Amino acid sequence: MLETIRHDAIVELRLARPPVNAFDATLSRELRLAIEAAANDARGILISGRPGMFSAGLDVAAVLQLDQAGRLGELWGEYSGLCRTIAASPIPVIAAITGHAPAGGAVLATFCDYRVMAKSSDPAKPFRIGLNETQVGLIVPPEIQTGLRRLVGVYRAERLMVAGAMLDSDEALRVGFVDELAAAEDVVTRALAWLRALLALPARAMSGTRAIARADLVTAFDAARAPNAEDFVRGWFGDESRVVLTAVLAKLKKT
């Protein structure tokens, strides 16, 4: 599910869960543990995906299966914990967005320090990124809303999240959802270059300033975290969500 590639002081964690790097509880847990481990022996982390697909977000089949078993809180707890780990990482975490990044894929990138996104070689088929949760019947949780507001501003974040908008890479760069575009084959290279430039700064000054600047992200997670994950899930995932996601899964099975 996860490939680890060493670039000197930087660890690249490449998502490798076919076909679309969707997050179930296991992948969420493995990536979180890998980030925590890398923080002990590396100076920076890069998260990448396969060419054309960064991550499609939460695994729809796993969501419905766990919901039926009354264990959806397990998946949400693992995925939310992963995002908090990225937000709170003591070393920089960069997203090399190698292709499409809807929903949970976009969320993951939102909490990274910097985002380099692939630009499709075919203008008629651009790569897209966005929090399209409302389109599949899900509410965007408050900590995730905080993350997007940080990138694009309060009003624009509201418009994008309420509509569940998916932006092509050019528009994502224009509004600040991503920081840089590169050809698909150069995304990892450009992300490494940015991270190396950051790591060339005086370490204590950079790390201390970064920790202060990103403290609001960690606070947002801690403030939103319910004592019981199942209580949160019951409010987040209701009948409307089940109907819409069941239809999405049926459509995916036909393709």
Do 86 and 93 touch, CB atoms closer than 8 A?
yes
Residue 255 has pLDDT above 70, yes or no: no
pLDDT of res. 227:
58
Residue 32 has pLDDT above 80, yes or no: yes
State pLDDT tens for residues 62-85: 988 888 887 888 899 999 999 999
Work out the mean pLDDT of the chain and round it to a whole number. Answer: 93
pLDDT of res. 23:
96
Of 9, 131, 2, 117, which Cα lies nearest the Cα of 53?
A: 117
State pLDDT tens for residues 187-243: 999 999 999 999 999 999 999 999 999 999 999 998 876 556 666 777 777 888 888
pLDDT of res. 228:
61
Residue 49 has pLDDT above 80, yes or no: yes
For residues 26-50, give the mean pLDDT. 97
Structural domains for the chain: 2-254 (3.90.226.10)
Residue 254 has pLDDT above 80, yes or no: no
Give CA–CA dist 179/157, Å, rounded.
16
State pLDDT tens for residues 86-141: 999 999 999 999 999 999 999 999 999 999 999 999 999 999 999 999 998 889 99
How is 181-245 classified by DSSP, letter by letter?
EEEGGGHHHHHHHHHHHHHTS-HHHHHHHHHHHTHHHHHHHHHH--SSHHHHHHHHS-HHHHHHH
pLDDT of res. 230:
65
Mean pLDDT lowest among 5-9, 39-43, 231-235: 231-235
pLDDT of res. 101:
98
pLDDT of res. 226:
56
Q: Tokens standing for 202?
A: 């005086």
